Amino acid sequence: MALTDIAVRNAKSRDKLYRLFDERGMYLEVSTTGGKWWRLKYRFGGKEKRLSLGVYPDVSLKDARDHRDDPRKLLAKGIDPSIERKVQKAATVERAANSFEAVAREWYARQAPGWAPSHAEKIMGRLEKDVFPWLGGRAIAEIKAPEVLTVLRRVEARGALDTAHRVHQNCGQVFRYAVATGRAERDVSADLRGALPPARHTHFPSVTEPAEVAGLLRALDGFQGTFVVQCALRLAPLLFVRPGELRTAQWTQFDLDKAQWRYTVSKTKTEHLVPLATQTVVILRDLHALTGQRKYVFPGRDVKKPMSGAAINAALRRMGFDTKEEITGHGFRAMARTILHEHLRFPSEVIEHQLAHRVPDALGTAYNRTKFIDDRIAMMQQWADYLDKLKAGANTNPV
């Protein structure tokens, strides 16, 4: 007789495993501990075989019967349900290993060690936010160009056109890696060239007129926030390094007696030397009394970590500056580059080396941390003196 829900529910454990049979080869197997498993008994190629249909009560009597019918249909076609299940399981495992997300994370793991941490974080953040939710589980070889375009349009629709272009670029890198590793035939993202409107790249806002710089410097000196952030604000125009390099500066990189700061440039992975003006050393010595026992020169709320990447711009906004139109933490670099060349008349190659830009020379050297070092030492001191004069209201005409 066919089983009933009541009979299945009331089946108790016994001293030995036993079975309650249903129709068409299905039965319930009850263990000595009370566990209940649905099984299907069938014959294939003259051999008796069994197939699991699930565990009760997760799989009800009705669901178990539904699960039974599919294998029986395969038997009618001359297919062994056990073999078919193994094939499907293997296909599922292979599909998961070759999904867009799996390939993307593998590509990322290989590339990220050569990137700056902030750059690596941005790339994975874009993939996790804008791509994985929609394409992550798809087999990368099956993804078509229109599907990628839908993802890009979704990013564009929220007003992040530049991000959409970057997502397009990252998807292309993943697809090309999949091609190289034999998991895709081609980079379908290449078909989307021109599908997005061109992004308008804008420079970081900056203050480059000496009279305006004077007001900015006085505002920085008058900042009412924490001493750590105030020091970072005062040092930003004096050092004009990248904001991420300033906020992650470590005390072990500084030799205040020699007035030097040595660190590895985040973009070029090259060593860089920053000569420190006397004004800079004074600020750093004051700050050393507070944070000198810490790893970072500018520790954050968690003193084991550096100051937040948003701290400088947040402080500028608190002082009333528009970080979209007037000045940002990165804008101090443009300010120094412009005034050092146009007003203090320093050669552009000296300035570019101090900015840690790649400046190929006649010998093909892309970057040399000590190139023009004497000129750079003089420039950094003259720059600090010039900023002091601006704050004091001195004549701002070109030297």
Which one of 357, 369, 371, 389 is the catalytic residue? 357
Q: Which residue has the tokens 């505002």?
A: 219
Options 1.10.443.10, 2.60.120.10, 3.40.50.970, 3.40.190.10; CATH for 210-391 is 1.10.443.10
Whether 333 is a known active-site residue: answer yes
Predicted confidence (pLDDT) at residue 322 exceeds the cutoff of 90 = no
Q: What are the pLDDT digits (tens) for 182-194?
A: 989 999 999 999 9
Whether 77 is a known active-site residue: answer no
Query: Burial letters for 251-270: b for 16+ Cβ neighbours within 10 Å, e otherwise?
Result: bebbeeeebbbebebbeeee
Q: What are the pLDDT digits (tens) for 214-263?
A: 888 999 998 888 999 999 999 999 999 999 999 999 999 999 999 999 99
Q: Could you give phi then psi for residue 29, rounded to 5 degrees? A: -105, 125
| Terminal C-alpha separation, the chain | 105
Q: What are the pLDDT digits (tens) for 112-126?
A: 888 778 788 989 999
CB-CB contact of 262 with 271 (8 Å): yes
Nearest to 275 by CA among 244, 307, 241, 228: 241
Could you tell me the pLDDT band of residue 85, with boundaries at 50, 70 and 90? confident
CB-CB contact of 33 with 71 (8 Å): no
Options 1.10.150.130, 3.40.190.10, 3.40.50.300, 3.40.50.1820; CATH for 100-192 is 1.10.150.130
DSSP state of 139: B
**Rounded mean pLDDT, 380-389:** 95
Say what the pTM is.
0.54
Q: What one-letter code names the amino acid at 18?
A: Y
DSSP state of 65: H
The domain segmentation of the chain, as residue ranges, is 5-93, 100-192, 210-391
CB-CB contact of 207 with 327 (8 Å): yes
Task: Measure CA 275 to chain center.
Answer: 32
Q: Domain spanning 5-93: which superfamily?
A: Integrase, DNA-binding domain (3.30.160.390)
Which one of 126, 165, 168, 333 is the catalytic residue? 333
Residue 364 pLDDT: 44
Nearest to 197 by CA among 151, 164, 173, 167: 164
Residue 280 pLDDT: 97
Which one of 330, 337, 353, 376 is the catalytic residue? 330
Whether 330 is a known active-site residue: answer yes
**Rounded mean pLDDT, 28-47:** 90
Q: Which residue has the tokens 């038997």?
A: 75
CA distance 295 to 291: 8
Whether 288 is a known active-site residue: answer no
Whether 262 is a known active-site residue: answer no
Whether 186 is a known active-site residue: answer no
Which one of 41, 166, 176, 267 is the catalytic residue? 267
Which one of 242, 272, 353, 376 is the catalytic residue? 242
**Rounded mean pLDDT, 304-316:** 91
Q: What are the pLDDT digits (tens) for 212-222?
A: 888 889 999 98
Could you tell me the pLDDT band of residue 95, with boundaries at 50, 70 and 90? low
Task: List the beta bridge partners of residue 264.
Answer: 271
Could you tell me the pLDDT band of residue 393, with boundaries at 50, 70 and 90? confident
Q: Beta strands 18-21 and 260-264: pairing type? A: unpaired
Which one of 247, 367, 376, 386 is the catalytic residue? 367
Nearest to 30 by CA among 42, 14, 41: 14
Alpha-carbon distances, residue 324 vs 61, 134, 155, 204, 331 (angstroms): 64, 32, 21, 8, 11
